[in-house]
Structure 1
Amino acid sequence: MGIVWKVLAALVGGLMFTILGFMVISMAIGQGANESYGGFIMLGLFVVAVAIVWKANSASKAWRRLLISCGIFSLALPLSAMLLSGSLMAQGPEGDAAYAAGSVIGYGAATIFTGFVSIFLAAIFLITGLLIGRDKPTA
């Protein structure tokens, strides 16, 4: 029965790991490379998630590792949003003050919103990950 729970952890937890990791990597890379390498990035992340589950001793340890990894990806989301905002602002027309002001306001608001959402996601993932799969103290 333990293998069934590990397969479930690989599928569901691996999907969470893959989606969050793809968001972080694709926002950091930018628009150009994402179109041609997006499938390979997602496949690679899913293989890494399956390897994490495969190396774990039990399904609860696998969930612990996957949830903590998802928490780390969630904390990296605002940094990726800053990189994406900077690259998109650099692509705008030069010398246009209105475009620059609007870009700073719009992309800054998007980065701040991403930061708030990712802090809450990271808190949920990290707290849940630290509570699942703990070794029981022997008294």
Structure 2
Amino acid sequence: MGYDPYSAEFTRSVVVLSQLGKAGWERRSAVYKSWGWSEKDILVAFRKNPWSLMTSENKIMAVMKFFVEKMDCESLYLAEHPNLLMYSLEKRLIPRALVLHFLLRNKLIAKKPNLNTLFVYSEKLFLEKFVNCFDEAPQLLKLYRDQSDLSK
């Protein structure tokens, strides 16, 4: 796979592969392939974030469906950003997506930001960049908090 055998990445990959096993790899590969990924795409995602393949098949399906159907992304976007598979749909992805859709619908931002950035930002930075800087901050914060609270 092109790893330096003395690197931490190599060690993480070996740990994941040993825990996942051949059957686990094949099950997850089948899920990704159902979304149009090739074996090469799966390896790209694995190389970028080996832990993303430890995600359950159900969660992979749910996150892929969310990004493709709700966020209007190509499924291969997640091959390039497999870290997005690691976040909670209920606690992070959906609440932040609701804020984004509000901002776009109300023309508070002109275009959709880089989604990887939107979802990777820390809570503090997300609130600073996408909530608190708008006059509608109280409404946005309520929308965000209410959705986050529903997941608890």
Larger Rg: 1
- Higher fraction of helix: 1
Query: Which structure would you say has the larger RCO, counting Cα contacts within 8 Å and 6 or more residues apart?
Result: 1
TM-score, with normalisation over the residues of structure 1?
Answer: 0.33
